Amino acid sequence: MTNSNTYDVLIIGSGGAGLSLALRLADQAQILVLSKVSLNSGSTYHAQGGISAVLDANDSIESHVKDTLNAGAGLCDRETVQITVSQGKKNIEWLKKQGVEFTVQQSIDGKTTFHLNREGGHSHRRIVHTADATGKAVSLTLIERNRQHPNITLLENHNVIDLVTNHHEKYSEQRIQGAYVLDTLNNRVKSIAAKIVILATGGASKVYLYSTNPDISTGDGIALAWRAGCRVSNMEFMQFHPTCLYHPKERSFLISEAIRGEGGRLILPDGSAFMHHYDSRKELAPRDIVARAIDNEIKKYGIDCVYLDISHKPASFIRQHFPTIYQQCLSLGIDITQQPIPVVPAAHYTCGGVITDHNARTDILGLYAVGEVACTGLHGANRMASNSLLECLVFAERAATDISKQLPTSPEPFLIPDWDESQVSDSDEEVVVSHNWDELRRFMWDYVGIVRTNKRLSRAMHRIDLLKVEIAEYYGNFRVTSDLLELRNLVIVAELIVRSAQQRKESRGLHFTQDYPETDNSKPPQNTILVPEIKQ
């Protein structure tokens, strides 16, 4: 029984949450950051819009709180919202000190100020951004800063198989010990021990056939925590971004909400607008409303997509504010300065996740969850635009503060047994994995998408039950691969989404069901909380 490696802190995930947390802790701990593929392969790198923060004199913390609560459809935790919003400015300044260069403008009195965008659900301009590639700027800056620190080790191409927990004589509760990790380049399983483990693995949108997320967004952290014995909450609230580029050569390119914030109009193929039929805020309504409106128009008219038109703005304005979108569309033969962009909704953000407190602690001692993997209470039934990167930064800071207090008294982790592959063999039927992966994502899209019914959810659960048996048998007989690990996690996430959706007998926020089309206001809204039957 030997540990391949022992660290003070193990961070699983290399996005904005994981990398910012590592930097805040690095002066007092030996830290290992694991990335499933490359360091910049996560959702942070691909985020276009920006980070919401109160920076304008005409804006206020109270206004940002109110907007967030409204978008969350009654399920936001007010204290969490207050904490997050109040820390916005401080965290933007922290990023700036790390070297992130945000887009600025000259004010009337000649001072240089942040250029602020406005997005759906926000009553003011409060989106700090770097043109239309904010996530890329944040990600590259944090990666470079992490690489420069001697106490931080960065490992790419490492996929976590399972968390390792144990009971310690000092504690009556379960405590984290480390993780089994697959080195995907060398096809070798490592045992990594750590006093503290942080899940910063992002969301689970790749459980759906169409998604704006990178391919690695397979709900790994949620599944890892669930198998280890953590509760999860509000998994029925999967956010579908209204505007994903519709093109056969590009199936996951996001068209930023900032385009609608700058006057972009949603239109049908004949050029007619339709959002005024659904909401007085039109294109600036919250994402769930816009996504359902587009979905309804597509089904009503039997069309492939709708269009987002910003061509009425000056071409120079479009190229300056949306250079990434402009160039990407142009490479596909779409000049957005002269023609509308074909768009469809696509799975975008996981509002639920692993339950945490205000310091990012989970149900297991020493295990934290930060970012999209966590359910903090900030988003409620629907995340407001650009609150996600803000949440990553704020809770990474709070987790770091809490961890720094815990480290001096945290016990050394026990020895982790070596990974046992003596009873398994190499797979001779990889097609089973690819077939099950494709089937899962297709029936989740068809049955558990933007509009749901009891019958559709039952059909999905039936297929999930069958797939779970097949996947468990396959996992037990063959050596692990990255694709198999992701499939094993995806089927758990799919089950959690469907179980949560079946428990909610109303429509609220992102969860809309034709069997219960109204919101139940007869009692205070409740979170959907799922508890693992057996804690290991």
**pLDDT by residue (tens digit) across 159-209?**
999 999 986 444 467 899 999 999 999 999 999 999 999 999 999 999 998
**Both structure tokens of 221:** 């952290």
Compute CA distances 338 → 263, 282, 334, 343, whole Å. 15, 22, 8, 16
**Residue 529 falls inside a structural domain:** no
| Number of neighbouring beta carbons within 10 Å of residue 88 | 22
Q: Residue 100: how many CA atoms within 13 Å on its side-chain side?
A: 28
| Residue with more model confidence, 277 or 210 | 277
392 and 325, same structural domain?
no
Ranges assigned E (strand) in 40-143: 51-52, 104-106, 112-114, 116-117, 127-128
Helices (H), 417-531: 431-447, 454-477, 482-503
Helix (H, G, I), strand (E, B) or coil at 358: coil
**Residue 47 falls inside a structural domain:** yes
| Residue given tokens 């505007």 in the structure block | 243
Rounded to two decimals, the pTM is: 0.91
**Residue 425 falls inside a structural domain:** no
Gap between the Cα atoms of 240 and 121, Å rounded:
15
Helix (H, G, I), strand (E, B) or coil at 370: coil
471 and 325, same structural domain?
no
459 and 504, same structural domain?
yes
Number of domains in the chain: 3
**Residue 282 falls inside a structural domain:** yes
Q: What is the pLDDT of residue 34?
A: 98
Cβ-proximal residues to 58 (8 Å cutoff; 6+ apart), any chain: 124
311 and 276, same structural domain?
yes
Contact 153, 6 (CB under 8 A): no
Q: Calculate mean pLDDT across residues 447-454.
A: 94
Given a cut of 90, whether residue 402 has pLDDT beyond it is yes
108 and 48, same structural domain?
yes
Angle made by CA atoms 80, 177, 146, in degrees to the nearest 5: 65
**Residue 199 falls inside a structural domain:** yes
Cβ-proximal residues to 369 (8 Å cutoff; 6+ apart), any chain: 198, 199, 200, 221, 225, 230, 353, 354, 356, 360, 362
CATH code, domain carrying 221: 3.50.50.60
- Buried residues in 54-63 as b, exposed as e (16+ CB within 10 A): bbeeebeeeb
**Residue 2 falls inside a structural domain:** no
Q: Calculate mean pLDDT across residues 247-264.
A: 88
Compute CA distances 437 → 432, 464, 526, whole Å. 8, 11, 32
**Residue 532 falls inside a structural domain:** no
218 and 104, same structural domain?
yes
Enclosing H/E stretch for 86: helix 78-86
99 and 210, same structural domain?
yes
389 and 477, same structural domain?
no
Q: What is the pLDDT of residue 172?
A: 61
Single residue among 332, 348, 364 that ends a domain in this structure: 348
Q: Residue 454: how many CA atoms within 13 Å on its side-chain side?
A: 7
CATH code, domain carrying 298: 3.90.700.10
**Both structure tokens of 454:** 């009891």
Ranges assigned E (strand) in 138-246: 152-155, 158-167, 174-183, 188-199, 232-233, 238-245
Gap between the Cα atoms of 75 and 499, Å rounded:
18
364 and 335, same structural domain?
no
Q: Calculate mean pLDDT across residues 487-503.
A: 98
472 and 389, same structural domain?
no
In this prediction, residue 146 has a pLDDT band, given cuts at 50, 70 and 90, of: very high
Q: What is the pLDDT of residue 49?
A: 83
Q: Which domain holds residue 288?
A: 238-348
Gap between the Cα atoms of 284 and 20, Å rounded:
31
Contact 280, 263 (CB under 8 A): no
**Both structure tokens of 17:** 């949450």
209 and 132, same structural domain?
yes
Give the least confident one: 25-39, 77-91, 224-238, 421-435. 421-435
Enclosing H/E stretch for 375: strand 374-375
**Both structure tokens of 203:** 């969301």
Q: Calculate mean pLDDT across residues 129-141.
A: 94
Q: Calculate mean pLDDT across residues 485-502.
A: 98
Q: Calculate mean pLDDT across residues 370-380.
A: 98
355 and 343, same structural domain?
no
Residue 303, burial from CB neighbour count under 10 angstroms (0-12, 13-18, 19+): middle
Q: Which has the closest alpha carbon to 219: 398, 346, 353, 342?
A: 353
Residue 498, burial from CB neighbour count under 10 angstroms (0-12, 13-18, 19+): buried
Q: What is the pLDDT of residue 2?
A: 46
**Both structure tokens of 320:** 């300056």
Residue 98, burial from CB neighbour count under 10 angstroms (0-12, 13-18, 19+): middle
Gap between the Cα atoms of 222 and 204, Å rounded:
8
Given a cut of 90, whether residue 48 has pLDDT beyond it is no
**Terminal CA-CA length for the chain:** 20
Gap between the Cα atoms of 53 and 51, Å rounded:
6
Compute CA distances 235 → 230, 320, 504, whole Å. 14, 38, 11
CATH code, domain carrying 480: 1.20.58.100
Which residues have a catalytic role annotated?
Answer: 287
Q: Residue 246: how many CA atoms within 13 Å on its side-chain side?
A: 18
**Both structure tokens of 353:** 């996740």
Q: What is the pLDDT of residue 47?
A: 87
Single residue among 333, 348, 363 that ends a domain in this structure: 348
Q: Calculate mean pLDDT across residues 515-528.
A: 96
**Residue 535 falls inside a structural domain:** no
Angle made by CA atoms 405, 408, 411, in degrees to the nearest 5: 120
| Residue given tokens 């802790």 in the structure block | 25
